[in-house]
Structure 1
Amino acid sequence: MPFSLRAGAVPPAVPPGVLLVEDALVTRFVRGPLRMAGQTLRWMSGAVHDAEGRLVPLSQRDWDGDEHAPVAADPAAVVRPDGPGGPDRLAGTWHYAGHWTRHFGHFLVETVPNLWPEPEATGGEPVAGLVAHRSCYGPAPAAPGRGDRTRPADLWPWQEELLDLAGYGGMPVEIVRAQPRLVDRLRVASRPVLLKSRVGADAVTLWQRMAASVQPAGEPAVFLSRARFHAENADDELKVRVEARWEEQMERLAGAAGFTVVHPETLSVREQVALLRGARVVAGSAGSALHLAVFAEPGTTVVEVGDQRTPDSPLPSQRLLDEACGHTSLFVPYADEQALARVLEQAVGAPS
């Protein structure tokens, strides 16, 4: 199955593949309001164009009705800003990484999958670095100015580790914001993941490739606790979606059922991958931490516990990830102590 699709979702508009674009132009990122059918959405532009100024559709982010995501609105052709005073040029062959986010979960399941081709460039020349547009979420640069220029990315340590596992470690990363960029040769690959809509086989192959480079830790059942993360972000209601009392209960019940309780943010990425790769059962609250299950082997059972955002139903993104990775999905409603105890015990094979 090439894609794990949400019910009602459509396959990508452009067939999956890889293109090598000579003398590529990466246009600047722009975003604005879009009003349609009584609904206020957002549009964005910023894509790859070829030597003639023609759009490379493979570089666009598809849109599938998500009101929180902007609609790609790039022109079919642009006038290239060549000549004196034009954009800076990147020499050699680079890889286009889509939209670059600093949010762990989105980076893991939306940005990293765009690195699914092996690092060796089409044509045999090694990839010199990564080029990406800034995240399509968050405040957008209003106009070119200081701080908005294309510049090397400041990477979090966990981003460096994920890039290293994907085979792109140590490479420069250029983020395009309010200024365009020219590239001698730019490799553009299809985006295998559209969050909440589809997860492609190329993404799964990459996650498995990354996990294969790490020795499994050998813990059969792992519970990914967010208690410390939530305690450190207690004043941010957007990040904290679980009451502290319920966090404590989940840790207690998981320990009683035989789970190893871990706090992912206290571990290196490699340590996290080692735990997930070796686990037969993975459990935790809905959200970014549980997305780490993409590194677990096919056949792993993934137990998702609802939070205050979605207390009674699983996140569509998690179900799609589980399906694509060959995992068995189980769901427990938020703050249902009896259900959690029963499901955790059954998942590890303990008597109920």
Structure 2
Amino acid sequence: MIIPSPLLPFKGANFYSLPEVSTFKDAIYECGLGHFDGLSGLFTKEGYLINQAAFFHHHPSETKGQPSWINPQSAKTYPVIETAIFAGHLHEQYGHYITEFLSRIWFLKKLNIKAPILVRSFKDLNEIFSYQWARDLFSLLGLEKKDFLCPDSPLRIKELLVPDALFAEQGYCYQHMAEFCHELGDMALSHLSEETITKNKNIYLSRSDLICGTIKIDNEKEFENELSKLGFLILHPEKLSIYEQISLFRNNNIVVGVLGSAFHTSIFTPAPEGVAINMKDFPDINYLAMDGINSSRIDYVVYDGLAPSTAPDYNFYATKTIRKPHQAASDIYEFVSKKREKFFIPNMGKRSTGYEVNSRFYKIKTRENYYVKIDSRTGNVCVDENKFTHDAVLFELDKKYNFLLSNHENITNVSLMGVAHSGPALSLTVFHNTDGKISLYDPNLDKYVCSLPRDQGGHLKCDAKKILPWEIYSLEKIEKKEISNSVDIICSIIALVFSNESWGNADYYINKYRDIFCYVYYLKNNNINENMLNYSSKINGYLAISSRNNTILQGKIITHRGAIGDVKTNDLIDTGQTFQSSIEGINITTFDTNYTLKYTVFVKDESWSEWTSEGEFAGTTGAGKTLSGYSAKLFDKNGQEISIVCHAKFMNDDKIYSYAGGSLFTSPHVSDLIGISICFA
């Protein structure tokens, strides 16, 4: 049986800003003796470890065996070079090559500087370049051995440039890491002929031919044979070029295998899909951090049909046996088939598996039997057939919400005549007629969508007051594989916003598709009725408090966060998911003179503050004291208290806590407050 793997509470931090390059004068390089020797590193002229050039791992983070200080006096006699650019650890192991070297080499396109590339390596450069996968990657990067400086003795550098690492083990990953690796992945595909590229396959990455490593399955060959019968393609990554390995995660393939370095290859592909079988207590945070900025649909699972082998191979850390290979193959096939058939919000390393969405996709036909199209130039909904028109897709969510989108490969606005607004999706109500046909209705206009005949322009227009023949359509169900990447993105955002789930990957969409995310919240707001008023969000720097009479009371909210400072951004935040950092104080102001807000905060390990009037700061700054609770009260202008609900999100706690306004609620786990929102009861 396949079950979701447990994950650690910390899943890696993701950053969307551009990385920086730091300059150090008279830096000291100590080559050391080997891994974790407590000797190697780059240091300032005063002898202090340069954190920007250090290697970190674990959570909480710590340096990988590097001293925090060396005696700078001894470095005065070291040989001196003029300049160098530090590019990390040129590692002989594939996964560490990506995390410790590729994560810094992004500067190649950013810095137009001719200088030696300084790397740390405990292997000779000739040995590193002897690995085919390394030569392939160096080729993509346009690098040769002569470009590198790998000293075997200490030295000083008059001017050292240190690009930020885009990735730190068990720590964080920048969005730019994915963007940079995607470019390399695109280049890799150009080295393959079209007929050699694997497409639309279920792929199993085998370890059965390895002679040493971490995990061995002693009856893996039997398991592979059962998977082959079910149509899986069995491949051995170590026998493929890096170009071929990268292509496996593209082209609608789903990659299955034991979790290991082969899954690091997914970073070269946007939105990869896979199933990683975890055989340790938890998946390493490294994979989750990369998934978080790559829109990944890689599910982390455990299989309960594994047992320790009775004949362990001591060339591996652990040897396992699959008790029932036939059943295991069947379970894997069923799991992968569901991934292909159903629509999931990408888990992006925030949860073990994707969130299945109750949804369907349709093409729409008019009474004249023409497919409804959308013109990519104008966004107009029509029935024209030309190179600029693409199928319209109707996305049905939870059997009650319906959205009209374009199936163009790029995100395209949709514009329906008679509807004042346009956007990447239009929200419509679907009426099911007695003959199995449907009609499209806009409740805001109280009008139906009419399809004009082709000889009258062929446009669709929302202006009909009742259902007549030209307001009747038929639906044709389409498979998930038929929708474009742009539809996938928009529908993921729609499902995320309308699901009311605290999913954890909202910050990815907010940062990468901010305008679309805001627009979808606008659509949700328009779908609010009197039974759906537990909705609160922060849009363009404003706290939106939903009203009982379907109006929105807006107000400005500022949170002071220890790691960031005052947050005054244009982010659209749902209960604090954008900033995973502790709140130390709050300042809220409502804009409606009919209401007044008061609030209090609980300073961790201390006490509740006095009730603070809106527009005033509650909490602390500069003292490193975080909050573990807050409460608020709302009054009308007669001083009558209005019932509200407070929502709180705490660090390392997936739950959103809701409680009545005025209640003095704190984290059950004494965790730091990271998100707040308020709505009418």
In structure 2, the partner of 1:37 is none
Shift of 1:212: 1.9
Secondary structure, counterpart of 1:116 in structure 2: helix
Aligned pairs for 1:126-137 (under 5 A) are: 126-128=114-116, 130-134=117-121
Q: Is the alpha carbon distance of 1:331 and 1:104 closer, same or farther for their aligned partners in structure 2, counting shifts above 3 Å?
A: same
**1:112-127 aligned within 5 A:** 112-119=102-109, 121=111, 124-127=112-115
SS of 2:182's partner is helix
> Would the aligned equivalents of 1:24 and 1:50 in 2 still touch at CA under 8 Å?
yes
Matched, 1:295 2:268: yes
Structure 1: how far apart are the matches of 2:65 and 2:277? 31
Distance in 1 between the 2:84 and 2:336 partners?
46
Q: Which residue of structure 2 aligns with residue 262 of structure 1? A: 235
Is the 1:53–1:80 contact (alpha carbons within 8 Å) kept by the matching residues of 2?
no
User: 2:299 matched to 1:324?
Assistant: no
Q: Which has the larger radius of gyration?
A: 2
Identity of paired residues, percent? 17
Report whether the alignment pairs 1:226 with 2:206. Answer: yes
Q: Classify the secondary structure of the residue corresponding to 2:298.
A: strand
**1:35-50 alignment runs, 5 A limit:** 44-50=38-44
User: 1:185/1:274 Cα in 2 relative to 1: closer, same or farther (>3 Å)?
Assistant: farther
Deviations 1:140-187 (A, max 9, x none): xxxxxxxx9xx755322322222332343454333345x213345432
Q: Secondary structure of 1:102's match?
A: coil
Secondary structure of 1:214's counterpart equals helix
1:348: which partner in 2?
Answer: 340
Name the aligned partner's letter for residue 20 of structure 2.
Answer: G
Q: How far apart are the structure 2 equivalents of 1:69 and 1:53?
A: 16
Q: Determine the C-alpha separation between the residues in 2 that align with 1:71 and 1:320.
A: 22
Give the aligned partner of residue 200 of structure 1: 174
Q: 1:108 aligns with which of 98, 101, 105?
A: 98
Contact 2:49 2:68 in 1 (8 A): yes
CA distance in 2, matches of 1:55, 1:71: 12
- SS in structure 2 opposite 1:164? helix
Change (3 A) 1:303 1:227: same
Counterparts in 2 of 1:228 and 1:64: CA distance versus 1, 3 Å: closer
Q: Which amino acid aligns with 1:161?
A: D
Q: Indicate the SS of the match to 1:219.
A: coil
Q: Are the equivalent residues in 2 in contact too, given 1:223–1:254 (CA < 8 A)?
A: no
For 1:164 and 1:6, the matched residues in 2 are separated by 39
User: What's the offset of the Cα at 1:23?
Assistant: 4.6
* Alignment CA distance shift 1:331-1:56 (3 Å): closer
Q: What is the aligned counterpart of 1:306 among 272, 275, 278?
A: 278
1:19 to 15, 18, 22: 22
Change (3 A) 1:79 1:119: farther
Greater alpha carbon shift after TM alignment, 51-60 vs 202-211: 51-60
CA distance in 1, matches of 2:221, 2:291: 23
**1:190, 1:285 → 2: CA distance?**
31
Shift of 1:28: 2.8
Do the aligned residues in 1 keep the contact of 2:275 with 2:298 (CA within 8 Å)?
Answer: yes
Greater relative contact order (CA < 8 Å, ≥ 6 in sequence):
1
Please give the per-residue CA displacement for 1:115-157, whole angstroms capped at 9, x wherever unaligned: 1223563xx33243x222236xxxxxxxxxxxx9xx7553223
Native 8 Å contact 2:48 2:70 kept in 1: yes
Distance 1:185 1:220 in 2: 50
The answer to whether the aligner puts 1:283 opposite 2:270 as a matched pair is no
More strand by share: 2
Q: Tell me which protein shows more helix as a share of its residues.
A: 1
DSSP-derived class of the 2:73 partner: coil
Is residue 2:148 matched to residue 1:154? Answer: no
Structure 2 contact 61–171 (Cα < 8 Å) conserved: no
Match of 2:85 among 92, 95, 110: 95
Residue among 149, 169, 184 paired with 1:174: 149
Structure 2: how far apart are the matches of 1:10 and 1:345?
A: 31
Q: Cα RMSD over matched residues?
A: 3.7
2:180 and 2:294 map into 1 onto residues whose CA distance is 11
Unpaired runs of 5+ residues, structure 2, are: 1-7, 191-196, 306-327, 343-478, 480-681
**Unpaired segments of 5 or more residues in structure 1?**
33-41, 136-147
**Normalised TM-score (structure 1):** 0.71
Contact persistence 1:59–1:188 (CA under 8 A): yes
